Amino acid sequence: MQPENHGRRRRSQISATRPLFRRYWPLMRPDRWRLAGAVLLLVVATACELAGVWVFGRITDDVLTTGVLAALIPLAAFWLGAAVLGGVAQYVGDWLSAAAAERFVARLRDHTFGHVVGLSPGTVDRMEHGDLVARLTDDVEEVEEIVGSGPVQAVSALLSVVAFGVAALVLRWELALLTFAAAPLLWFAARRFSRRIGAVADDERETNGEVVAVVEESLSAVALVQAYNREGLVRGRAAAAGGRWAAIRIAQARVHGAYGPLVSVVETLCVLAIVGVGAWEIGAGRLSLGGLLTFAGFISYLYPPVQSLGQLALGLAAARAAGDRVAELLDTAPEVTARPGALRPDVVHGDLELRNVGFQYPGAVRPALSDLSLRVPAGRTVVMVGASGAGKSTLTRLLLRFVDPASGQLLLDGVDLRDLSLDALREHVTLLPQETTILHGTVRENIAFGRPDATDAEIVAAATAADADVFIRALPDGYDTVLGDRGRFLSGGQRQRIAIARALVRNAPVLVLDEPTTGLDTDAVRRLLGPLRRLMAGRTTVLITHDLRLATEADYVVVLADGRVVEQGTPAELHRADNGHYRSLLHRWAVPAAAGRT
Ligand SMILES: Nc1ncnc2c1ncn2[C@@H]1O[C@H](COP(=O)(O)OP(=O)(O)OP(=O)(O)O)[C@@H](O)[C@H]1O
């Protein structure tokens, strides 16, 4: 997934950010009072700074130039009071603003992650995972600037500009107008820079996603990389992506770095103008030294907020790039959605029916399934066999509603799956996926993933039925052993038995088993048959397999080829059918005709 070409836009960052503000503001709304409090306190802090500058001028004129020390005490007390009040206001204001920002980031991440988790597995698989991670972490954090710290910073900077600008005007308006002449220069510089920074920020976000994607992919395939001596290749890819990122970060640093010195030169010119004109005014007796120092103080407090307004535009450029990337994710529509008023049956018997089901993947040249009709009465087992690419896994995706059929219907207890709520459907249909997934966590947590409210006794019963209890108890911490990422401490057969226990604990009436014996040797398959039979007992089961030894577990066998049913019947009938597809599969995979229940 690549964002469209954002870098070449020629709108100002602030107006380009407006739609993003409207989009993300609802997630900031719960913290709007925190933001308002932060702005109010920053106003107080600005007023205290203003008072500090004013009192400094008074001290210069009333104490330093006259030598009357008695006048110092009330002025010093006032100054100290203003400094303490300003400090406290700044501290609490920053705290409120940071709390609003972090709470927003947590909410946006949860919202975006929730959306991604609800997308069809196929859609998520098509995205680059590293890039996805970058969007859910760094990008989500940057978006905050659009609705939180950015506006707070803008309001407080604007208030400071107005407060110190008006104060300078009141003090010496001619001098003030002279120094204000520099403000458009600063603003112009900020606008020019923000465009360039915006373009670089887009590239930086994109290449950051690339680096994470390359590293993530290489690490997840580390065994393959080493076995094929391809460390050099993946290092090269990571280094190339890292090099592109570094070049863009350097360009970014260069653009950011040029902005500060430019502003500082403009500022120095202004200070020199103030000192020159001020000295002339003092010489003419129109201004006191204290007045000049107060004026210089006001101006020195005026420029940082002007600069910060400029930098805000730069920050917003980066935040906008991130905001677009997160929005793109949020705009990815789920492939399946529940109809309004979808049904949530309490009891499901498990009567499954497929009526003329057809499905074609987007961009595929031929349908993955065509005109597939089948009925599996409640509690019965159907085994689907067929060569690779016949459409078996596609059927599991349809049964779980990861995708919807292009034609025909799938029915559970006579109800079209599209009329059931997605939650209800998946509560009553358990999938044992082809790839056994062990999550990072304890054995107990892995089994309870099937049903979080399962009691300890139910977890142990499920593990026992899956023939997993004995090896689990032999693990260092038994059921509390942490299994590590993807269960790397377990054998393939052990992982599969934990997955069976997880499916058992769900206790759903319908079961979809996708190649449950993939990657297991004959002995491991034989040991898995008992747990599988206990899992399937009394449940409607669709068992997808290459392994014809499992076909004898079936009440009915369906042979698929090129997305169509080419043969069906009981295992015995298919055995008897000379020259049938089933016989030829048996022959091709050299499975003894007597293999099966052992
Ligand atoms: N995401 C996809 N996009 C496009 N085509 C796909 C996709 N997934 C599968 N196909 C195609 O659909 C057809 C059926 O694939 P499916 O995975 O259902 O086969 P299968 O019988 O499960 O194969 P295997 O036994 O190898 O897992 C194949 O031609 C495959 O190339």
* pLDDT, position 243: 92
Is there an atom of ligand 1 within 6 Å of 367 CB? no
- To test ligand 1's pocket by mutation, which of 120, 123, 126, 394 has the most ligand atoms within 8 angstroms of CB? 394
Is there an atom of ligand 1 within 6 Å of 397 CB? no
**Phi and psi at residue 380, in whole multiples of 5°?**
-95, 160
Is there an atom of ligand 1 within 6 Å of 393 CB? yes
Q: From ligand 1's centre to the CA of 429, what distance in Å?
A: 21
Q: From ligand 1's centre to the CA of 195, what distance in Å?
A: 46
Average pLDDT, the chain: 84
Closest atom of ligand 1 relative to the 125 alpha carbon: 1
Which residue's C-alpha comes closest to atom 4 of ligand 1? 361
Is there an atom of ligand 1 within 6 Å of 390 CB? yes
Which helix (H) or strand (E) segment holds residue 525: the answer is helix 522-536
The predicted model gives 583-587 an average pLDDT of 65
Is there an atom of ligand 1 within 6 Å of 389 CB? yes
Q: From ligand 1's centre to the CA of 389, what distance in Å?
A: 5
**Residue 389 CA: distances (Å) to CA of 366, 392, 395, 579:** 12, 7, 12, 22
Which residue's C-alpha comes closest to atom 18 of ligand 1? 391
**Residue 192 CA: distances (Å) to CA of 155, 207, 259, 294:** 22, 24, 10, 32
CA distance 249 to 207: 10
Which domains are assigned to the chain?
17-330 (1.20.1560.10), 352-435+509-588 (3.40.50.300)
* pLDDT, position 591: 47
Is there an atom of ligand 1 within 6 Å of 392 CB? yes
Dihedral over Cα of 327, 329, 332, 336: its sign: negative
Which residue's C-alpha comes closest to atom 12 of ligand 1? 368
Other CB atoms closer than 10 Å to residue 104's CB: what's the count? 27
Is there an atom of ligand 1 within 6 Å of 370 CB? no
pLDDT confidence bin for 174, thresholds 50/70/90: confident
**Phi and psi at residue 351, in whole multiples of 5°?**
-80, 120
User: Ranked by mean pLDDT, which of 150-154, 256-260, 368-372 comes out on top?
Assistant: 368-372
CA distance 93 to 99: 10
pLDDT confidence bin for 12, thresholds 50/70/90: low
Q: What is the CA radius of gyration of the chain?
A: 35
Residue with tokens 């076909």: 551
Which range (269-273, 327-331, 475-479) has the least confidence? 269-273
Global pTM value: 0.73
Q: Where are the alpha helices (H) located in 60-135, listed in sequence order?
A: 72-117, 121-126, 129-134
CA distance 472 to 86: 62
Dihedral over Cα of 544, 548, 552, 557: its sign: positive
* pLDDT, position 6: 38
Q: From ligand 1's centre to the CA of 541, what distance in Å?
A: 21
- To test ligand 1's pocket by mutation, which of 392, 543, 559, 581 has the most ligand atoms within 8 angstroms of CB? 392
Is there an atom of ligand 1 within 6 Å of 364 CB? yes
Residues contacting 494, CB < 8 A, separation 6+: 468, 471, 487
Q: From ligand 1's centre to the CA of 390, what distance in Å?
A: 7
The predicted model gives 114-143 an average pLDDT of 88
Give the number of residues written for the chain. Answer: 598
**125-128: long-range contacts, CB 8 A cutoff, minimum separation 24:** 126/1, 127/1, 128/1, 128/209, 128/213, 128/217
* pLDDT, position 3: 37
